[in-house]
Amino acid sequence: MPHTAALVVSLVASASALSAPSSAPKAALFKAIDTFNAATAVDGTVPIDFGVKGGELDKKSRAPRNLFPDGFDAVSENVGTAAKGVMAAVDALAGEASLAANAADTWKTADSPLTGEWSNLWTTAADATFDSKSERGAAKVSNVVDARKGRITNVIKFTDPESKADALRVRLTAKAVGARRLELTFRWVCVTFKKRLFGIFRSVYVPLVPATFLARLIFFFRPTRATPTPFFDLLYLDDELRVQKTGEGNVFVQKKLVE
């Protein structure tokens, strides 16, 4: 009967909707980031320059400074509130079923969902925060992952026309240590200049094996005597979005770039 058939279709559709992961938490995160960006467009961002004095590193641990919540609160009440909104959305999304549940198990495979270029949308990490008003200048931060080869390249592309450096690339290798966690090893750093340095060098390459203080300074990890192995835990992952937390507690929200 038509009525019965329609009822069956409706029940099947409802069951499918319940079993499918909700897109609402992800949409809420994007909206929260938009709100944060609107707040910083009016009130400004956390002023970050190099080193401890510049706010890049924590005074006590010399680790990359976590801007949440104190750094954002110091900018303005609106920015602080918006940052808390982003973190609440991150927490909500982390509770959703996603590819993060076993993504590390796909490491070193050709079809790993981690592979690709990921652009940074939002972070709490001071050393990955750039602004045109600071000495560091404006920059775009991204992360290129080749899971099959087991390597990650952190890329900082300087967009300030006054910057002498064109890009900074930090190569790491990674290994899976659990379904959600990847441990990292720094390999090298390369700085590419817009004009040849001293009229000779276009790029300066520095190997980082074993890891040195410079390697720890570049991105997220703690330069102490008992430095733990750097890592990040995947909080959420799908074919568009990746959210992770480093061993230092810094959160990164990244969106995959489509070729």
pLDDT in tens, 76-89: 999 999 999 999 99
Give pLDDT, residue 15: 37
Q: What predicted TM-score, i.e. pTM, was given to this entire model? A: 0.82
Range with the poorest average pLDDT among 14-18, 115-119, 183-187, 253-257: 14-18
Q: Is the pLDDT of residue 69 over 60?
A: yes
Q: Which residue has the higher pLDDT, 142 or 13?
A: 142
Q: What is the mean pLDDT of residues 179-189?
A: 94
Q: Is the pLDDT of residue 195 over 60?
A: yes
Band of pLDDT at residue 22, cut at 50, 70 and 90: low
Band of pLDDT at residue 227, cut at 50, 70 and 90: low
Q: Which residue has the higher pLDDT, 194 or 43?
A: 43
pLDDT digits (tens, 9 = 90+) for 12-21: 333 333 333 4
Q: Return the amino acid letter for 115.
A: T
Q: Is the pLDDT of residue 129 over 70?
A: yes
Q: What are phi and psi of 139, to 5 degrees?
A: -160, 155
Band of pLDDT at residue 40, cut at 50, 70 and 90: very high
Q: Are 60 and 34 in contact (CB under 8 A)?
A: no
Q: Is the pLDDT of residue 96 over 90?
A: yes
Helix axes 24-43, 77-94, angle to 10 degrees: 160
Written as six digits, the tokens of 246 are: 């480093």
Pairwise CA distance, residues 4 & 117, whole Å: 49
